[in-house]
Structure formats: C-alpha cells, structure tokens
Structure 1
Amino acid sequence: METGSAAVLKVLQLIPTLDRSGAEKQMVMLSKGLPRDRFRVEAAVLTRPGPLEAELVAAGIPVTSIAKRRKVDPFALGRLTRLIRAGKFDVVQTWIFAANAYGRIAARRAGTPVVVTAEMAVDLWKGRIERAVDRRLATSCDKLVGNSNAVVDYYRKLGVPAERLEMIYSGVADEAPPQVDPAAVRAEIGFPPDASLALFAGRLAPQKRVGDLLKVLDLLQHVQPDLRTAIVGDGPMRAELEKLAGRYDLVDRVRFLGHREDVPRLMAAADVVVLTSEYEGLPNVVLEAMMLSKPVVATAAPGTTEVVADGLTGMLAPIGDIPALAKVLRNLIRDPARARALGAAGRERALAEFNDGAMIARFADLYERLAAAKGLAVAPSPTAS
C-alpha cells in the first residue's frame, strides 16, 4: 500500500511479451484505464517487450523486463520474486500460461496479499503437463478470471475450485474509426479497387484453422470471383499456409500481409471480417470488428458464440464445415444491405455489453474486494458495470 495514501493499491501486471495480440491489448487497456486515485500500476514482461510497451510508457506506467531465457528458468523466477518483493505490490495480476505459472509462484513467495490470474482462451492446446501445472497452482491465486463463460467452464472442468473462478468479459474501446478510402486500400495491397474484401487478423497457428479459410476461398473463387482476402498476422504456420494458397491457385486472390500496425485501417476498408478458429476466449478481432460496424463470419467456437449473435450481429457456421462457411460468406458478400445491418447491430452490442469501461470497472472492483478481504484499506468505489 502506497505510503501516505492508504487507499491506493499498488498493482503489478505481468505478461510474457507486449506484442500486438489479444491478451496483451487487454492488459494494456486495463493498466491505462485503472483510476489513478485508487491504483498505482506497474507492468513486467516475463520474456521480452514489444510494440505495446510504448503505450504503457506514454501513460506513465513503468515496464520491467524479467528476460526469461529458457522454458524452465529458475534465475528468471528469482528475479521476478525479487521485483515483486521490492515493489511491495498489493495486487499481482498475471496473463497467459508462462506468466501465470511464474507469476503465481513468485507472488506467493514474495508475500503478495492478492494474486489474480487471467485466462483468455479455452486452451485446448494444453497437454497433460500444462493442465497439471494449472491444477497445482489454482490455489496460489485468489481468483482465476476467464474472459468468457466458456473459459470459466473449461477451468472448472479442469478442477479449479468454483469459488476461485470469476468471469469478466474482455472490453473494446470506442475510438473514432479510421478515415479510409476502401478502393485505395485494396489497390495498395494488390487487389482490384472494386473487389469485395474479406479480412482475417490473427496468429497463424493451428487454433485459428486458417487452412479452413483457404479451403472456403477455393470453393468460392469460381462462384464469387470478385472476392479477395487479406490475411494479417504471422505465426508458425505461415509458410505452410502460403504453399496451400498456391496449391489452390489463390495467389492473386489472397495476400499474406504479416504483422501490421494499421489493422483498424484495413478492417475499416473491409466488407467482412472472418474468423475460423477451433476455440477462442472472447476474440478481440471480433470485438474490434463489431465496434467498427463490420459484419463477422465465424465458426461457432467456444467463446466466439458469446459475442457473435448468429443472424443478428454476424453469421456462424460449425467448426470445420467448409461448405457452410462458404455459403454464409458468399451470401453476405452478395447482400451488402444485410451486411450493413449486421454490422450496425454488432456495434450496438459491443457498446452495450463489451465496452472497455465495464471491463476496467469490474477488475477494479475485484481488486478492491479481494484486498478488503485481506484487511487492506481501499477507497470507496462505485458499483462495477
């Protein structure tokens, strides 16, 4: 607790990196948005910084790098423990598996009163070892927060006690949409200015099933010849996916753009945003698309179904059902009025249910509830949204 201001809680946010991905964006949004009269926030990266570090520094939030070098790195654990102990933090919040594991151990060793773990996906990738670590460390945090009911249900079934689970939806900021010339954006990335444009944005990893998207585009290239697709992001499957696009003769219809700093601009120029994941938590890309009034075509993956209302704010198809995905994407491209209506309804829902203010208020309330239960003095706060 900060000396001279007994009601201000010191909070450390710990995450593996500060790349432009979903959990990282949520952590930065939360860190910048917590009320300064009630919280003093610092951040730490377990492995390395990234482009989002600049946002934290600009907001006056110190960032420390722990520089973990190996998968199992006791020296990094020691450095992290010393940082937390020296900082005398009241709350430590951890994000993503590695930081969740190292952070919970270090925070308890340092005697931190409140430890919160954030889980951002229905992590079907986790094997026996990772699931065992999660179960073992479940009692080393006061709350495990899932960003959707699907995530909370996953960890409940994994064996995390119900009383340690909490659900707080991810948030999205209502920012002024980029002013773009859609025809110019298409031409810039090598497409005809009058093409219909679909956008995928995400990590090129097995979870996202981008290969399914390429199969959809293969089906559509003859029946919807004006459709072009921009794939934004990078990952371990990029080379394989580029080869697959070549085998499907999609080289002129698909562009792999890699990491981009202008995703909102590209999204604003697109006609539809596509997500073909096997599982999610609460996908940031869908929230961002909805806030920009863009219709979404997605698979009915755990987490995604909580934000996309099928037929109301977007269109859903079964995971892996290539013909069904192709049909809903084709129908939406052919019906611009329907697409605009879905996009408008999506924005209304994002504003009402997934705004950043509600997310920040709920985390602030959680920190103060847990701190008060540990006997720490906290400032009076409004009821969370």
Structure 2
Amino acid sequence: MKQDPRPLVAHVMYRFDTGGLENGIVNLINHMPAERYRHAVIALTEVTDFRQRIRRDDVQFISLRKAPGHGIWLFPRLYRLFRELRPAIVHSRNLAALEVQLPAWAAGVPVRIHGEHGRDVGDLDGSNRTYQRVRRFYRPFVSYYLALSRDLADYLTDIIRVPGNKVLQVYNGVDSQRFHPGEPDRVAADCPFARPQHWLVGTVGRMQTVKNQPALARAFIRALQIEPALAERARLVMVGDGPLRDECRQLLDAAGVGELAWLPGERSDVDAVMRGLDCFVLPSLAEGISNTILEAMASALPVVATDVGGNADLIAAGETGEIVPPSDDEAMAREIVRLASRPEQARHMGLAGRRRVEQNFSMQAMVERYQDTYDRLLHRPGASQAR
C-alpha cells in the first residue's frame, strides 16, 4: 500500500468540544489545503460530536479518556501512539495539554509546537507560580510556541523565559462568509423577540466561570435602572450552556426582567444568532484572542468587551466598539445604554468592525500563517524565511 506523502499534524487538546480554541482547530483543518497536510485530533479526555464540524473525511479522531490531574501515567500510551502515528508535528494547545510534549520528544517527533490560546480562571493574570514552573519544566521539549495575543507572547518571553526567536504571535481568523451582516428585521429561529422594534444585546459562549456571563446579566439589569425607557425595546440574548446558565436566569428573574431575556442554551446556528443581534458583549475574566469577538465583528456588530487578554488587540475602541474594565458591571451597563440610545452610531461601529475583520483577521491570513510556520519548521519548499 502506497504511503501518504503528506506530513501528519497531530493536534492535541484537553477536550474536543464546543469552544473557541476547538473552533480555531476546526477552521484551520477545514481551510488548509488538503494536499499539504494530513491531520489527527487527539483529546486527552473526550472527542465529542463537535467533530462533525470538520468537513474533511481524512481526519483521525482519538479520545484518551484521561483522569483528572497530571497524566504522567499516560506517557507510555502517548509515546506508543506517537510512534504509531509518526506525526511530523505535534501541536498542543494550552497548559492542560502541554504535558504531551515530553512523550512527543521521546518518540522522536521532529517538530513540537505548543499554542497558548488564553488563560484559565486559576491564573487570570499569569502570576500563578505553579503554572509558571510547569511551563518552564516542559520548555526544553517544545520546538516552537504560538501565542494568540501580544499579552501571551510577552508572558512566554518575559516570565517563562522562552527565547524570542521561538515565539510567534499569530491572530485567529474568522470565516467572514459564514459570519456576515444580517437584515435589520431578522432574528434567529425560535427567538421570542422581534426586530426592529426590539434592540437585542447578547453574548455567545460556554457558561463557565472564566466567561463571567452573570456580569452581563447584572449589567443589563443596571442598564434598565439607568434608563427605564429601555425596557420597552432592549432585550438580552445569552447563548450557551454550562453551570452559570441557571445563575444568570435567577439573577434576571429576581430583578423582574426575566421575560426580557432569552437563554436558549447551546446552539448550532451561532452565525444566525449573531446576525439577529444589534450589539455583542463579552464579559470574560480572561481571554486569548476571542473567536466570538471576531465572529461578532464579521457580523457587523459593535462589541463591548472587557480589557483582558487580546480583546483590545481586536477592538478599535471608539470605532468598532468599547473596552471596559473586567468585572465592572456599571461601566458595561453604561456602554449598553449608550449604544442602545444611539442605534445609528452603533450600526456604523459594527460596519467599521466588519471592515477591520476583512483587512486584518481573515481566515486566509490565519491559515497562511499557520501553514507557513509548519512549512518553515519542517523545511518544506515554499516556506517563508521571515519570522
């Protein structure tokens, strides 16, 4: 049987499920030319039905069902797996998957890349000494680092002491064909609100602590206190599932505005949800480069986001949206009031965000950056020599 000449990239993460990191892997595999690389997706825990978003039929999916905690007992299995697959590149993502770099090195994988995509709730500012020590321990086994924001690139070079020539800061890209501006009178299927009589502010994401959706629920309640007339037309949309969903619903019900909010849980039509909004808010406590911000901008929405991670890299404050301090419900509420009270200005900010995505955060630019990095580290023909 003829051996496939395409190099194999093994993408490793903790769990392959709904999320920005995982969505970035889906976009990369779907848009990278199939003749250049093969791909395998390895989850230390589980590969979920999220795999169905990958449109290629030559991708291998592997679940290792790792128990919580450090996975040193998994090293022999990973070693054997890498020896069997013989990947040209192992590309791990975030601290939870960093440990695979050692067995990849032991198995003789030629190129070992580690991506830093964002911070965990246990290390919002990068000051966790234990996490720093873990990253320094595995540093000798990593060939190259990809950081999704300037903040994370600086953390690697300044705190983890990775040589600058081993770190590349690369932005995510967004599918601007799937995510595009909507019609002013359209909402997502099943949405109980109507446009243009209602002005919809919303968010999309896993409802977990680091995403901090209760801050948006409180900000929406506060916005209605600041400007009571908004209760006639302002509506809140919170898409996603997780432990914070019930907390958000309870906050809104306790304030007597539960009927002004829609919390449908996880949705597969996020692009349609985005097109049915008038403003997008990201209240996170930590981020790398947020896919949902890029998706909102591609959908021509003004974006209000917290000043964490790479959010300020994406949003041109005052032009495409606004940046507010993290956990500042009052500042978030006042931005919601301002944009809801000036819908035409909000619309122009959204259109400016769409132009910014097309110029700086295209899917093609992201895929070319990753492919060029893979080519260069493997010394493949056509690779750029520029860093």
Question: Do Structure 1 and Structure 2 share a fold, with TM-score over 0.5?
Answer: yes
**Range 54-63 or range 333-342, more displaced:** 54-63
3-state secondary structure, aligned to 1:47: coil
Gap change, CA 1:69 and 1:123, over 3 Å in 2: closer
> Could you tell me how far 1:93 is from its partner in structure 2?
0.4
Count residues with an aligned counterpart.
Answer: 376
Aligned with 1:274 (options 281, 302, 309)? 281
Report the counterpart of residue 375 of structure 1 in structure 2.
none
CA distance in 1, matches of 2:121, 2:213: 17
Superposition map of 1:177-188 within 5 A: 177=179, 185=187, 188=190
Amino acid at match of 1:321: D
The equivalent of 2:310 in structure 1 is 303
CA distance in 2, matches of 1:288, 1:332: 19
1:237 partner amino acid: L
Question: Which residue of the partner structure matches residue 152 of structure 2?
Answer: 151
Aligned AA (2:105): R
Deviates more, 1:325-334 or 1:283-292: 325-334
Match of 2:235 among 220, 228, 232: 228
* Aligned: 1:325 with 2:332: yes
From 170, 186, 190, the counterpart of 2:192 = 190
Q: Which moved more, 1:272-281 or 1:72-81?
A: 72-81
Corresponding residue number in structure 2 for 1:172: 174
Change in CA separation of 1:186 and 1:82 when aligned onto 2, cut-off 3 Å: closer
Contact kept in structure 1, 2:46 and 2:63, CA below 8 Å: yes
Contact kept, 8 Å, 1:186 with 1:195, in 2: the verdict is no
Q: Are the equivalent residues in 2 in contact too, given 1:121–1:151 (CA < 8 A)?
A: yes
Distance 2:51 2:361 in 1: 24
1:196-215 → structure 2 map (5 Å cutoff): 196-215=199-218
Q: Tell me which residue corresponds to 1:113.
A: 110
CA shift, 1:86, in A, is 0.8
Give the distance between the partners of 1:219 and 1:355, measured in 2 at CA.
36
Partner of 1:36: 34
For the 8 Å contact 1:358–1:384, the answer to whether it is kept is no
Instruction: Tell me how far 1:41 sits from its aligned partner.
Output: 1.9
Q: Is the 8 A contact 1:212 1:276 kept in 2?
A: yes
Q: How does 1:1-385 map to 2 (within 5 A)?
A: 5=5, 8-56=6-54, 58-101=56-99, 103-123=100-120, 125-126=122-123, 127-163=128-164, 164-177=166-179, 185=187, 188-191=190-193, 194-222=197-225, 223=227, 224-225=230-231, 226-372=233-379, 378-381=380-383
1:181-233 Cα distance to aligned partner (Å, 9 max, x none): 76663783333552211111112223222222122111122412121111111
Specify the SS of the correspondent of 2:11: strand
Deviations, residues 96-146 of structure 1 (Å, cap 9, x unaligned): 322222x21221121101000111114462344333211211221111211
Q: Distance in 1 between matches of 2:39 and 2:51?
A: 14
Shift, 1:59, TM fit: 4.0
**CA drift at 1:159:** 1.6
Secondary structure at the counterpart of residue 258 of structure 2: coil
User: Match for 2:302: what amino acid?
Assistant: P
Q: CA deviation at 1:287?
A: 0.2
Describe the SS at the equivalent of 1:52.
Answer: helix
CA RMSD of aligned residues (A): 2.5
Aligned amino acid, residue 134 of structure 1:
R
**Which letter does structure 1 place at the counterpart of 2:218?**
K
Q: Structure 2: 5+ residue runs without aligned partners?
A: none
CA distance in 1, matches of 2:184, 2:269: 14
The AA in structure 2 aligned to 1:217 is F
Counterpart-to-counterpart distance in 1, 2:373 and 2:137: 23
Aligned partners of 2:162, 2:56: CA distance in 1, in Å? 39
Structure 1 Cα separation of the partners of residues 365 and 180 of structure 2: 24
Q: 1: CA distance between counterparts of 2:181 and 2:360?
A: 25
Identity %: 27
Aligned partners of 2:385 and 2:33: how far apart in 1?
14
TM-score by length of 2: 0.89
Q: Structure 1 length normalisation: TM-score? A: 0.89
Instruction: For residue 168 of structure 2, give the secondary structure of its aligned residue in structure 1.
Output: strand
Q: Residue 323 of structure 2: SS of its match in structure 1? A: strand
Assess, with a 3 A threshold, how the Cα gap between structure 1 residues 155 and 236 changes in structure 2: closer, same or farther.
farther
Q: Judging changes above 3 Å, is the alpha-carbon distance between structure 1 residues 380 and 187 closer, same or farther for their aligned structure 2 residues?
A: closer
Alpha-carbon distance change, 58 to 10 in structure 1, aligned in 2, over 3 angstroms: closer
Cα distance in 1 between the residues matched to 2:311 and 2:258: 29
